[in-house]
């Protein structure tokens, strides 16, 4: 996710520097955001630990139930009692149910099915993975004084989307990728929770991968020719031109303009030779900055995105 601002906000004492005093969050808001990140992340970790079962049931069991008690989720029944005939051969497996009583209260404890328990852990894993992602994103933008209020909804909703996405991926894999059997007892719990955490950490990539799977299953070619939605989110930066390509020392400061698309969707940086450009004025389709040449020669002007990938390189001639 990238946040950029097209206008110099009110209160910026240096209009030539769009990065100065741009953050749209107060000091109190920063502390509140940090507190919520810590509480939600720690709460998710504790809840996951509290729901982790003591052991998986025997692979021979068709299903299993657990005693639902926080930090003490233990297997309720086992199929380990075998009946034998007179010759000593096994005849059938008889379930041996061990009743559990809460302390001195003579009534059974609350039980939870293994399938339900796995679903809970997967949802928590997706939520936890995405909390790591949004915590990194939020602290980066606040630290760079580039936080935007319009992204608050994204931060609030994304962890819950990640939890739902993790469950969707689990159900998709259970259809035949993780296990060909309908039994849940031989599922690798650490494996499925790891996938859930990764799905939450890389939600956008996981969504794209599900889209690719859907396209293959339902033959994407059948829908070709239909007009694309005009409102699809596109954060790619496309640079069309950089002008001027030549500067004169005698002219002093000159304005260099970059034209293209996506400048308001993502961030990028510019270097001329070894000089990094910091004061860049941006709109959706243009970016401009003042540059004062100090020495004649040929210099490479390189534009890179936030990941360090080169978007465009052009020679600037200074005479």
- For residue 235, the model assigns a pLDDT of 60
Pairing of the two strands 275-277 and 77-84: unpaired
Which string of DSSP letters, residue by residue, matches 251-271?
G-SEEEEEEEE-TTTS-EEEE
- For residue 13, the model assigns a pLDDT of 37
- For residue 233, the model assigns a pLDDT of 52
The SS3 assignment for 222 reads helix
What angle, 0 to 180 degrees and rounded to 10, lies between the N-to-C axes of helices 189-201 and 203-217? 110
Specify the residue for token string 């640079």: 239
Q: Which of 56, 37, 44, 40 is nearest to 138 (CA)?
A: 37
d(C-alpha 147, C-alpha 4), whole Å:
9
C-alpha distances in Å from residue 311, one per residue of 258, 266, 307: 12, 12, 11
Residue 82: beta bridge partners?
Answer: 93
Q: Which residues contact 241 (CB under 8 A, 6 or more apart)?
A: 258, 259, 260
Specify the residue for token string 């293959």: 216
Q: Residue 52 has which token pair?
A: 């982790």
Which H or E element spans position 242?
Answer: strand 238-243
d(C-alpha 120, C-alpha 50), whole Å:
11
The SS3 assignment for 81 reads strand
Asked if residue 253 lies in contact with residue 259, where contact means CB atoms within 8 angstroms, the answer is no
d(C-alpha 136, C-alpha 130), whole Å:
10
Per-block mean pLDDT, blocks of 10 residues, the chain (319 long)? 42 41 79 92 94 82 79 70 48 45 52 89 94 90 85 91 91 66 71 89 82 68 48 68 87 88 84 86 88 87 84 87
Handedness of CA 7, 13, 17, 20 (dihedral sign): negative
Handedness of CA 281, 286, 292, 293 (dihedral sign): positive
Specify the residue for token string 């040449």: 293
What angle, 0 to 180 degrees and rounded to 10, lies between the N-to-C axes of helices 203-217 and 152-174? 40
- For residue 6, the model assigns a pLDDT of 41
What number of CA atoms fall less than 13 Å from residue 198's CA on the CB side? Answer: 11
Q: Which residues contact 149 (CB under 8 A, 6 or more apart)?
A: 24, 25
């Amino acid at each position: 996710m990238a946040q950029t601002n097209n206008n110099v906000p009110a209160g910026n004492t240096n209009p030539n520097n769009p990065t100065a005093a741009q953050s749209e969050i107060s000091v109190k808001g920063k502390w509140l955001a940090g507190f919520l990140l810590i509480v939600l992340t720690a709460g998710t970790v504790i809840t996951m630990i509290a729901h982790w079962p003591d052991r998986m049931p025997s692979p021979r069991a068709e299903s299993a139930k657990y005693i639902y008690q926080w930090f003490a989720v233990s297997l309720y029944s086992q199929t380990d009692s075998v009946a034998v005939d007179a010759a000593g051969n096994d005849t059938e497996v008889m379930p041996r149910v061990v009743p559990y009583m809460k302390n001195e209260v003579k009534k059974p404890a609350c039980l939870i099915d293994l399938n339900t328990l796995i679903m809970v852990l997967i949802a928590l894993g997706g939520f936890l993975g995405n909390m790591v992602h949004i915590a990194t994103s939020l602290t980066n933008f606040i630290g760079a004084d580039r936080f935007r209020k319009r992204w608050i909804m994204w931060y609030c909703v994304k962890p819950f989307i990640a939890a739902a996405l993790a469950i969707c991926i689990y159900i998709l894999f259970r259809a035949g990728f993780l296990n060909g059997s309908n039994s849940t007892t031989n599922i690798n719990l650490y494996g499925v929770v790891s996938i859930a955490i990764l799905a939450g950490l890389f939600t956008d990539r996981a969504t794209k991968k599900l889209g690719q799977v859907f396209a293959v299953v339902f033959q994407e070619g059948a829908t070709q020719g239909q007009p694309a939605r005009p409102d699809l989110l596109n954060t790619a930066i496309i640079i069309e031109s950089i002008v001027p390509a030549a500067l004169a020392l005698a002219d002093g400061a000159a304005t260099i303009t970059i034209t293209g698309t996506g400048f308001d969707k993502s961030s990028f940086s510019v270097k001329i030779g070894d000089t990094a450009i910091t004061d860049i004025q941006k709109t959706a389709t243009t970016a401009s900055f003042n540059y004062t040449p100090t020495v004649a020669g040929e210099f490479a002007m390189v534009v890179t995105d936030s990941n360090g990938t080169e978007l465009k390189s052009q020679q600037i001639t200074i005479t």
